[in-house]
């Protein structure tokens, strides 16, 4: 009983949400309940005086109570949405501020080093610093692009520019960059694909973002010395793309949240501190916008397999789609 009362604490909930009591859903819910009870009692007294049959008076009370419950539900739902939007905004700012802090700090340190090396005339060290600065800048650009993509998806202003392309060639272009990252982590990448795969109509830049996110995750969350296997094959009128790793996997109880915005599994946060939690959210939204489906299976401690399918079309009826 004490445990139940501990969780049913509207004042603590309001404090947690950092909202005034008159704008806090749990507190308003209690006020609404009290107001409903008083209204029911007043309605019953009024109805019993003007209606002779007690059943009719009780019916009037029930109707009034139902009306207040419906209205109250809409009010509480509206406040809950506002509170959730406020929480998500704060979380969003916190995540991206944290993620941008590292590359910005690296850029600052690199510029300081370049300044010292320029004065000393060490050209080789300056060249190495330029590479570091370039990588740091690319990281920041990727983070900002992810932010913009989420914003466009949420606002419903996302436009897909479809062209005819090879999914296998697109994947190979990603693997050239990923290979260096994988080698540094002592991870082997294997690529398996059927011959003579048909081309598809898709947005090249957005599909690149999807493949990059899935391959990057497979490498980042793999244990040193593991293998990442990427495969593409045709299944009926679909192209089936898949990446399988031998990494840390996803806890079973958290798998249902994996495609939610800003969500990161508990073990992934411990294994890799960097990450905004928007990658898989965008993967799902983009693949679905392209007419496909995305899914995964995973076992904690044994690895994960992420996949998506895209339709094989003879020609795209709509080259530019807005979602």
**In this model, does residue 217 exceed pLDDT 80?**
yes
Give 215-218's long-range contacts (Cβ < 8 A, gap of 24+): 215/174, 215/175, 215/178, 215/243, 216/178, 216/181, 216/279, 217/279, 217/280, 217/306, 218/243, 218/244, 218/245, 218/247, 218/304, 218/306
Tokens 């998506």, residue located: 308
Query: Which sign does the torsion angle of CA 141, 142, 148, 151 carry?
Result: negative
> Taking Cα atoms as reference points, which of 161, 162, 141, 158 lies closest to residue 149?
158
pLDDT, greater one: 85 or 160: 160
Q: How far is CA 102 from CA 2, 93, 108, 166, 296, in A?
A: 45, 15, 10, 36, 30
Question: What are 18's two structure tokens?
Answer: 């950092």
Tell me the mean pLDDT in the region 162-184: 87
pLDDT band at residue 96, thresholds of 50, 70 and 90?
low
> Taking Cα atoms as reference points, which of 218, 279, 219, 284 lies closest to residue 95?
279
pLDDT, greater one: 232 or 236: 232
Q: Give strand pairing partners of 240.
A: 233, 309
- CB of 147 closer than 8 Å to CB of 189: no
Sorted by sequence, the CB contacts under 8 Å of residue 206 that are 6+ apart come out as: 160, 286, 289, 290
Tell me the mean pLDDT in the region 236-253: 91
Tell me the mean pLDDT in the region 24-30: 68
Tell me the mean pLDDT in the region 154-166: 80
Lowest mean pLDDT among 27-36, 208-217, 246-255, 265-274: 265-274
For residue 192, what pLDDT is reported?
Answer: 92
Q: Give strand pairing partners of 165.
A: 200
For residue 285, what pLDDT is reported?
Answer: 87
Angle (CA) 299-257-139 rounded to 5° is 90
Q: DSSP secondary structure string, 229-252?
A: EEEEEEETTEEEEEEE--S----G
pLDDT, greater one: 141 or 205: 205
Q: Give strand pairing partners of 202.
A: 163
Ordered by start, the domain boundaries in the chain are: 2-87, 96-155, 160-322
- CB of 174 closer than 8 Å to CB of 212: yes
> Taking Cα atoms as reference points, which of 25, 150, 31 lies closest to residue 82?
25
For residue 4, what pLDDT is reported?
Answer: 46
Question: What are 269's two structure tokens?
Answer: 């946060």
> What distance in Å separates the CA atoms of residue 103 and residue 132, rounded to the nearest whole number?
10
**In the CATH scheme, what architecture does the domain 160-322 have?**
2-Layer Sandwich (3.30)
pLDDT, greater one: 159 or 229: 229
For residue 86, what pLDDT is reported?
Answer: 65
> What distance in Å separates the CA atoms of residue 42 and residue 3, rounded to the nearest whole number?
34
**In this model, does residue 189 exceed pLDDT 60?**
yes
pLDDT band at residue 53, thresholds of 50, 70 and 90?
low
For residue 45, what pLDDT is reported?
Answer: 72
Tell me the mean pLDDT in the region 8-24: 64
When mean pLDDT is compared over 13-27, 73-87, 203-217, the highest value belongs to 203-217
Rg of the chain over Cα atoms, rounded to whole angstroms, equals 28
pLDDT band at residue 198, thresholds of 50, 70 and 90?
very high
Mean pLDDT over the full length of the chain: 75
Tell me the mean pLDDT in the region 116-121: 72
Q: What are the two backbone dihedrals, phi and then psi, of residue 244, each rounded to the nearest 5 degrees?
A: -120, 130
């Amino acid at each position: 009983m004490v445990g139940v009362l501990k969780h049913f604490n509207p004042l603590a909930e309001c404090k947690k949400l950092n909202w005034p009591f008159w704008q806090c859903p749990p507190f308003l819910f209690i006020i609404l309940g009290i107001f409903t009870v008083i209204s029911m009692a007043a309605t019953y007294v009024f109805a019993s005086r003007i209606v002779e049959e007690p059943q009719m008076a009780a019916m009037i009370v029930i109707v009034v109570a139902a009306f207040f419950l419906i209205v109250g539900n809409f009010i509480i739902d509206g406040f809950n949405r506002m509170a959730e939007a406020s929480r998500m905004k704060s979380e969003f700012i916190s995540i991206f501020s944290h993620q941008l802090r590292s590359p910005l700090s690296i850029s600052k340190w690199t510029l300081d080093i370049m300044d010292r090396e320029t004065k000393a005339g060490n050209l080789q060290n300056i060249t190495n610093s330029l590479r570091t600065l370039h990588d740091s800048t690319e990281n920041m650009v990727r983070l900002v692009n992810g932010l913009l993509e989420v914003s466009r998806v949420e606002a419903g202003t996302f436009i897909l520019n479809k062209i005819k392309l090879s999914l296998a060639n697109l994947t190979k272009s990603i693997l050239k960059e990923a290979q260096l990252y994988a080698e540094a982590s002592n991870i082997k990448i294997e690529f398996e694909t059927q011959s003579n795969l048909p081309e598809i109509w898709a947005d090249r830049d957005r599909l690149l973002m999807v493949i990059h996110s899935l391959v990057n995750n497979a490498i980042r969350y793999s244990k040193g010395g593991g293998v990442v296997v990427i495969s593409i094959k045709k299944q009926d009128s679909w192209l089936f793309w898949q990446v399988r790793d031998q990494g840390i996997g996803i806890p079973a109880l958290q798998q249902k949240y994996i495609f939610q915005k800003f969500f990161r599994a508990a073990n992934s946060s411990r294994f890799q501190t960097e990450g905004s939690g928007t990658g898989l959210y965008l993967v799902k939204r983009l693949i679905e916008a392209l007419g496909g489906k995305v899914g995964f299976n995973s076992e904690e401690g044994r690895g994960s397999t992420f996949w998506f399918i895209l339709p094989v079309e003879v020609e795209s009826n709509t080259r530019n789609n807005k979602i």
